Amino acid sequence: MLDHGADNELASRQLLLDEDDVVSYDNYVEDTIDPGNTLFVIAAIVSLCSIVSVPLVAKLGKYIIGKYRRRDNSRSGGGDFEGHQASAVEHKQSETDEPEPQSSLQPSRSAIYPKMRYFSDIVVLNSLKRDAHSTERSQGMVEEAQASVDFDQIETRGHVEHGKDLGKLCPLHEKMGRPLDNSPKRSAFPLTPVKNSISFLNEILYYGWAVVRCDREMKRILRLAVPFTISAIAKTASELIVVAIISHTLGTNAMVAYAMTYGLVGISFSFMGGWHEAVTTLVSMAYGAGNHDLAGKYVQIACISYVLCEIPMAFIWIATMGKVLLLLGFDDSVAMLGHDFVWIRLLINTMTGVNMCLLNFLAAIEHDKFTNIILSFDSIAKAGFVAIVAYQFDVSLIILGLVILVNTTLVFSLIVLIPLKMEWVKKFERGLFGSFARSDMSVMKDVVRVALPLALGSIMAYAEWEILTIFAATLGPAEVATWAVMGFLWDVFESTTEAAGDASEIRVAYHLGKGRPSMAKLAGFKSMLFGAILSILMSIIFLSLTDVLPSLVTRDATIQYMLAELFPLVALGNITMSMGMVCWAIIGAQSRYHLSTLIALTCSFTVTVPIGAVVTIWMRIDLQGLAFAVVTGYTVTATLLSACIVMSDWEMLSKTIQEQVTADDLSDSSDDDSSYFSTGSQEDEVRNSQKPDVSGQDKFSLEIPATTS
């Protein structure tokens, strides 16, 4: 009898849901144009052209930068060529007391007299060739400039002074140069000059083999990326499952209210996310340099700043959510549901942000397994609790929101208690709890300097999606609901490439902080390769589920049909988005988030948004037009970011990061009255330097395949 009564109750609820769905979009009539496969073909052609154009864009960028530097030099009185040459050589000869971290074939460009950096490599080469009595280190400058010219112009070079052939300076097995620490191991970054096109082709093949082979660095990236991918997919898939559960148990209106509230509040959440995203890069750099106190301060500042910034945004969303939903064309029932649910969504986001700060910190200090286990547990538990409560009890959207909030709070307690119990954060406790880090202005500036570009880039990317949502509102309410649900589906596949980007960010930042620019570059290219392969596999899986996913997500036939139309473009966009996100992470690991943010903003507001406005407002194309705009914007962004990586001066970036961490270390030492940094921290660094490097970053050597062990 009890089972029979429960079945009757579920049947009555199902009847009410059916009636609610009929009122929603079942009889909806589209007033848009179906472009067929035209936009997909155009997007595919644009994507292929972007891949081919990356080397050309990089060369164009080098040419523009070189021309700008020459013009800037001429304005600053650079006509006294011989004077600059003499002063540069004198300056180089006067530096004999300073230790040279690189070999004579690989000198540091930042050690040259400051005014010389505005000359191109060709000018430095020609000027130093005139001096037949240059010192050995000046000869190193000649060889470095010659190498840059050879790699930029890809042509055969002659002999330099004293009749020496630069191609004979290093035999074949030494051509890859020596690492920064003067160890006998060979570097993976080809800096020696090539003699002709055949030698240059050999260099490319050797380096290509270094990128694709599964060496220790690739295994380390996979150990980071694969668990990150699993946990990221679990997180986004759980959100999609929650949306499906709400749609099947509470109806289309509740599903739309949940999806729209999630998306709109996500604008502020993505902006505040700059705080916890900055933790990954900054802690990786400080940890790589052995500065545990500084790493702890970074985490403390990020957590406190995140919570303080979320408070005013909460009041704004509570006051405006219902009105915003009405402006987007939804009816009063959806607006009321969204208004009642928004405060729970804000609390969930606040707890989630703090959790992400702590988890990013633990991942950066090589406890990534725990991080991924916690993220997976959070996702599985959330979906499980919501399913149990939704199917066993007659609940509302607010009750389901409270279930998610309780689960997030439980996860926070696990993140705090387990690392403390295991003493994983013992070295960082002074920075985490020993002082009020916000009073340390140098550390605060570092966090803001990294977090602000990240926040701006994130909110612009998120605002781009919401602007496209407004464009969808001009097509009709069903299009808005479909676009919101499409965001959850897209997040599932975006999470795979985001995990690859997180892994690359950790490894690249770690190597740069350690002073290993060659390994940092290699890790970046390996991560790009891994991200591309992973995105292609996910796109294939995505296309194979075209007839399955829409019906699982929603019971509304109109939304199902609109979702299925978008799948081909989304699958293509996932591949281009993968390259863009991994390149974004690599440039961020170089501590150049301002550059990646500028590129992303430019592409967003000059490519994606204008195309979206044209195809929807003017041409009245359906949601495929918006998907086409997103794919095109991702493609252009990925092309420019890839070109920036090709143009990067990794040696200079590594030295800059090391100097930054050293300056922060000295600042902390001067601010603290204790002898912690002068004894404990340095002793930790000595002990760490004496330990074997299990990650294999020093064990890499690019050898001839026949001699590789």
Structure confidence at residue 611 (pLDDT): 94
Tens digits of residue pLDDT in 266-308: 888 888 888 888 888 788 888 877 888 888 888 888 888 888 9
pLDDT-derived band at 346 (thresholds 50, 70, 90) equals very high
User: For residue 481, is pLDDT > 50?
Assistant: yes
Most confident of the ranges 52-56, 81-85, 107-111, 314-318: 314-318
H-helix or E-strand containing 514? helix 477-514
Tens digits of residue pLDDT in 135-178: 433 444 344 344 444 434 433 333 333 333 433 334 433 433 44
Token output for 343: 């405060």
The burial of 394, by beta-carbon neighbours within 10 Å (0-12 exposed, 13-18 middle, 19 or more buried), is given as exposed
**Of 11 and 250, the one with more pLDDT:** 250
Question: Ramachandran region of residue 162, left (φ > 0), alpha (ψ -120 to 50) or beta?
Answer: left
User: For residue 660, is pLDDT > 80?
Assistant: no
Count the helices and strands in the chain (H runs, E runs).
23, 0
Distance in angstroms (rounded) separating the CA atoms of residues 240 and 487: 10
pTM, two decimals, is: 0.65
- Amino acid found at 264: L
User: For residue 101, is pLDDT > 60?
Assistant: no
Please give the biggest Cα pair distance in the chain: 103
Average pLDDT of the segment spanning 363-390: 90
H-helix or E-strand containing 233? helix 216-250
Instruction: Determine contact, residues 489/549, Cβ cutoff 8 Å.
Output: yes
Instruction: Determine contact, residues 293/431, Cβ cutoff 8 Å.
Output: yes
Structure confidence at residue 592 (pLDDT): 83
User: For residue 98, is pLDDT > 50?
Assistant: no
Distance in angstroms (rounded) separating the CA atoms of residues 113 and 87: 8
User: For residue 449, is pLDDT > 90?
Assistant: no
Token output for 365: 């200090």
Structure confidence at residue 439 (pLDDT): 59
Tens digits of residue pLDDT in 543-590: 888 888 888 888 888 888 899 999 999 888 888 888 888 888 888 888
Structure confidence at residue 626 (pLDDT): 92
Least confident of 90-94, 506-510, 624-628: 90-94
Q: What angle do CA 655, 658, 662 make, to 5 degrees?
A: 135
Structure confidence at residue 316 (pLDDT): 93
**DSSP 8-class letter at 381:** H
Distance in angstroms (rounded) separating the CA atoms of residues 330 and 253: 9
pLDDT-derived band at 111 (thresholds 50, 70, 90) equals very low
Distance in angstroms (rounded) separating the CA atoms of residues 138 and 160: 13
Share of the chain above pLDDT 70, in %: 70
User: For residue 215, is pLDDT > 90?
Assistant: no
Cα 387 off chain centre by: 32
Share of the chain above pLDDT 90, in %: 18
Average pLDDT of the segment spanning 396-415: 94
Structure confidence at residue 610 (pLDDT): 93
Structure confidence at residue 288 (pLDDT): 76
Virtual torsion, Cα 368, 374, 376, 380, nearest 10 deg: 180
Summary mean pLDDT of the chain: 74
Distance in angstroms (rounded) separating the CA atoms of residues 156 and 159: 10
Distance in angstroms (rounded) separating the CA atoms of residues 658 and 644: 21
Structure confidence at residue 227 (pLDDT): 78
pLDDT-derived band at 418 (thresholds 50, 70, 90) equals very high
Q: Taking the CB of residue 6, how many other CB atoms lie within 10 A of it?
A: 11
Question: Ramachandran region of residue 554, left (φ > 0), alpha (ψ -120 to 50) or beta?
Answer: beta
Least confident of 125-134, 361-370, 460-469, 632-641: 125-134
Question: Ramachandran region of residue 36, left (φ > 0), alpha (ψ -120 to 50) or beta?
Answer: left
Q: What angle do CA 685, 688, 692 make, to 5 degrees?
A: 155
Token output for 288: 């790589």
Distance in angstroms (rounded) separating the CA atoms of residues 603 and 233: 27
Token output for 691: 């330990």
Structure confidence at residue 3 (pLDDT): 47
Distance in angstroms (rounded) separating the CA atoms of residues 481 and 488: 11
Distance in angstroms (rounded) separating the CA atoms of residues 544 and 563: 14
The burial of 692, by beta-carbon neighbours within 10 Å (0-12 exposed, 13-18 middle, 19 or more buried), is given as exposed
Torsion over CA: 688, 298, 463, 399 (sign): positive
Cα 254 off chain centre by: 33
Cα 125 off chain centre by: 37
CA gyration radius, the chain: 28
Average pLDDT of the segment spanning 428-455: 78
For every residue of 454-506, DSSP letters joined together read HHHHHHHHHHHHHHHHHHHHTT-HHHHHHHHHHHHHHHHHHHHHHHHHHHHHH
Token output for 48: 């292929």
pLDDT-derived band at 613 (thresholds 50, 70, 90) equals very high
What separation in angstroms does the CA of 184 have from each of 187, 253, 545? 9, 67, 52
Structure confidence at residue 171 (pLDDT): 40
User: For residue 99, is pLDDT > 60?
Assistant: no
User: For residue 45, is pLDDT > 70?
Assistant: yes
- Domain-wise residue ranges, the chain: 40-47+214-690, 77-212
Least confident of 51-65, 113-127, 204-218, 222-236: 113-127
